[in-house]
Structure 1
């Protein structure tokens, strides 16, 4: 009976948490606030109420939560865009993390009574990597330019590996002769290089399964196990499992259009969006619930020590980032040709950030689950473990709630937003080129005179493609004549779109009437509805 009762309690908690996550998303979408910050606040409020709390298990988070979240983020990122912005991405995700860890370590050794350099570096490594979830959610909603989205994504993907490697070196030095910066850098390089190799191995192993990936169910199964395979391989060979996950995700996401069927990509994308939504929701609720556990362990420290430690941690995190961005943007950009490719042959050359972009990027440093998961892995022999965990928790709360809730208003105040007209022009030009390629292929088929292909069928397809090409070209003409950076609205286009929606809705109603009258099975209804759903989605994106 006890087991049954315990199971029922877990189920009730999961259902209640799920309801809170869904409700918070609804509020977030309407209020324009980041769901991550709102969920953290809800978690804190719940933690202060009487009743049981769920404590964060760092091993479960690092093994079962971080890999799928990072992998999905990597799938949605652009390998080419990250490569073109490699100079800034490396600066933020590697060098800034190293600088943050070292500065926090030195600050602890100098100003926090009884603290050691190794313990301070361990804390610095934990609080150094930003979690871009909140910033990206708000930034996309506010229309942040694509280069800013790329930088936030690229930094968030690679900085976790840097931080966790430094953390492991710092923790290991507690049992040794102290922290050594050259040793830390050497071990980081080895772990990072090994992580990259492990990620490439997993990515190419998945590529060998390309025939299985034509089937949506098989493709989903392979996709779901890939991040865990990459992480496990990295950890087993004692390199960065986190970096292995990221590299595998970037390569597989880049290859997906070439090696996966359309049906597989649609289903896999939907599955990962659901997993990402649920995992992130539970994680941020858990962050807030750690408050009682962390605070209850501070009785052995004086108020002055706690205040000094928190001031060093929060101060370094908030002040070093904007200073670092300003200084690195002033440096010569000679590294670009070596790190990001030949700028003379690439129209997307990496450019220096403007003052407003530096300001926005400085405020996009929200910390999250990786910080708490990392600092909660500290062993009992680490000096001032409880104080380090409290400092990490305060940094997460200050950045996640403080920066998370104010990032959207800041972006809007700065006037930073993507040029929607340019984006629409790029996509419609690509659509036109794709349709033109299809028309050229029809000409080739007609010239080859395949016996099994009727000219009438070719002409039918040609008419459909020609109508689509004309629509795209009219759209491009409208965009070219527009004087603002907003996508112009054509009354004729909107009217045609409304007609297409009405027609699709009429077809749905008729299919339902057939099903209800027994002339169509439910299975048949689902197949035909799926066809209409794809048609409707295509209409909305055209």
Structure 2
């Protein structure tokens, strides 16, 4: 190797190192901002999504390197894990009970939004085409439920509304991305065929469901073969990417495949995975959600300067008209759609009434009330999916011509995201409180304690069977000890049920004795930890043994309700 070659290689290696250091600094800075926003949100009640978006805008106007939003990166690496994690936490049973409303919001409303934005562009925006407008409409049609759900859970949104927001957010992305693909093909000169578009959508949807079911079935034996938590957790992290890539490889909806796989696996997790695996997997997915969602909202704000730079070729009146059409349809159509669909003839609501009858907190007639319609309308915040979709528009058509009004479409999509994410996101909690919508916490706690009591009674029944069978060579002392534990728990659950019977206003009654008991249990756990640390510090207990014993205490503490100062609702 010549000295020139060695110098060139050294220079390239230095450039790579500098680039890696820059990326590392940006990542560390993003993590610091995410943690800071979480801290502020926990103490002010403001939504993290809106705070991080504003921080991203502020950072974008400062000198320094910015991070451009890569749609392929978002759709391939960010979207699958976020959707999969949301699907794992969703209730397949509850979504099935509210399937009609979920389909209305996630399929029909998305389709109507895309068509209305497209028609509005073609009628009121000079030189705009119907296909380009539909592409924009498809991008801004699907709400991103992350911000709304984060706020809704803190303020105690009723379970049925949480289910509807979750179900809509899981399924609407596949609808929007399919419509977007059809619109892009039409805008590039391939023409538009309604039957062809419907056929393409059905193939993508049915194929996505089939792929998701196949992945869920394929994961089941793997989770049984790899019963240790680390292997099970690794499989869980890989599953959304396998589902997405497999769906895209066979030209169906990879997004829908991820959602279906997550719903099925989450529904069967209690019997498919061990307790240790579930504890570790849940903790890892919470961290993944926390970091990915934070980075996504930071990226949204950083796109503003670049998009504004592309508006120089448009007249101010054109920009205003396009903005009003886009934001107007996004804000006004959703409440109108909810009101119209909830005021259909009673005969069309019969099935919904029957299905929703068993849903805790559901309206007695199955219909959404006026307050619930307002809350669901305010929950329609747009997010990273809208930006990733609109950024996927090609710069040039297949003929080499510029894609029609691409810069204007980008601006309108970002404006819709900012208006809903910041405007509705910051005001969602006050609106829900003003409406007086709140989950019946006493009823939820009553149901949980009834289930706990039933579980303890099942355990006692099994002990009686073991006493008669005597096949496991278990002595009477062991059975008596286990029976004592279960009997004590059963008595505690019954005591809580008796207290909950007198609950007023849906609030969980907290007696001074109950709170004092919790303080004593936490104080005892702190004393146990302190003693273990003293053993370690004096050399009587190895660190490995300390960590094993700490895990036992951590699991015991995890069973206690959350402390009063924490924003999450206590589990009782």
- Describe how 1:186-197 pairs up with structure 2 within 5 A: 186-197=199-210
| Aligned equivalent of 1:269, options 269, 282, 285 | 282
Equivalence for 1:480: 501
**Are residues 1:522 and 2:537 paired?**
no
Equivalence for 1:368: 383
| Aligned equivalent of 1:460, options 456, 477, 481 | 481
| Aligned equivalent of 1:353, options 347, 364, 368 | 368
Q: CA deviation at 1:447?
A: 1.0
Q: CA deviation at 1:481?
A: 1.7
Q: CA deviation at 1:333?
A: 5.6
**Are residues 1:316 and 2:329 paired?**
yes
Q: CA deviation at 1:183?
A: 2.8
Equivalence for 1:7: 20
Aligned partners of 1:466 and 1:140: how far apart in 2? 33
Equivalence for 2:434: 413
Equivalence for 1:223: 236
- Describe how 1:178-257 pairs up with structure 2 within 5 A: 178-257=191-270
Decide which moves more: 159-168 or 374-383: 374-383
- Describe how 1:56-455 pairs up with structure 2 within 5 A: 56-332=69-345, 334=347, 343=355, 346=358, 351-380=366-395, 381=397, 382-450=403-471, 452-455=473-476
In the superposition, relative to structure 1, how do residues 343 and 72 fare at CA in structure 2: closer, same or farther (>3 Å)? closer
Residue deviations 1:257-303 (CA, integer Å, cap 9, x gap):
01100000000000000011101111110110001111111111111
Aligned partners of 2:258 and 2:557: how far apart in 1? 35
Aligned partners of 1:404 and 1:457: how far apart in 2? 55
Aligned partners of 2:171 and 2:347: how far apart in 1? 22
Aligned partners of 1:112 and 1:97: how far apart in 2? 21
Residue deviations 1:155-177 (CA, integer Å, cap 9, x gap):
00000000000000111112345
Aligned partners of 1:284 and 1:483: how far apart in 2? 40
Residue deviations 1:70-112 (CA, integer Å, cap 9, x gap):
0000000000000001011000000000000000000001011
Decide whether the 8 Å contact of 1:119 with 1:384 is kept in 2. yes
Residue deviations 1:360-389 (CA, integer Å, cap 9, x gap):
101111000000000000012231111101
In the superposition, relative to structure 1, how do residues 200 and 48 fare at CA in structure 2: closer, same or farther (>3 Å)? same
Aligned partners of 1:462 and 1:432: how far apart in 2? 14
Q: CA deviation at 1:436?
A: 0.5
Aligned partners of 2:529 and 2:349: how far apart in 1? 54
Other structure's SS at 2:223 match? coil
In the superposition, relative to structure 1, how do residues 244 and 334 fare at CA in structure 2: closer, same or farther (>3 Å)? farther
TM-score by length of 2: 0.92
Residue deviations 1:20-51 (CA, integer Å, cap 9, x gap):
11000000111101101100000001111122
Aligned partners of 2:353 and 2:464: how far apart in 1? 38
Aligned partners of 1:451 and 1:417: how far apart in 2? 49
Decide whether the 8 Å contact of 1:94 with 1:162 is kept in 2. yes
Aligned partners of 1:299 and 1:407: how far apart in 2? 34
Residue deviations 1:446-473 (CA, integer Å, cap 9, x gap):
0112361001110111011101100000
Decide whether the 8 Å contact of 2:98 with 2:356 is kept in 1. no
In the superposition, relative to structure 1, how do residues 427 and 5 fare at CA in structure 2: closer, same or farther (>3 Å)? same
TM-score by length of 1: 0.97
RMSD in angstroms over aligned alpha carbons?
A: 1.6
Decide whether the 8 Å contact of 1:72 with 1:276 is kept in 2. yes
Aligned partners of 1:539 and 1:73: how far apart in 2? 25
Decide whether the 8 Å contact of 1:212 with 1:219 is kept in 2. no
Q: CA deviation at 1:185?
A: 2.3
Structure 2, unaligned runs of 5 or more = 1-13, 398-402, 562-570
Structure 1, unaligned runs of 5 or more = none
Equivalence for 1:513: 534
Other structure's SS at 2:560 match? helix
In the superposition, relative to structure 1, how do residues 81 and 213 fare at CA in structure 2: closer, same or farther (>3 Å)? farther
Q: CA deviation at 1:311?
A: 0.6
Q: CA deviation at 1:497?
A: 1.7
**Are residues 1:42 and 2:55 paired?**
yes
Residue deviations 1:187-207 (CA, integer Å, cap 9, x gap):
111111111111001010001
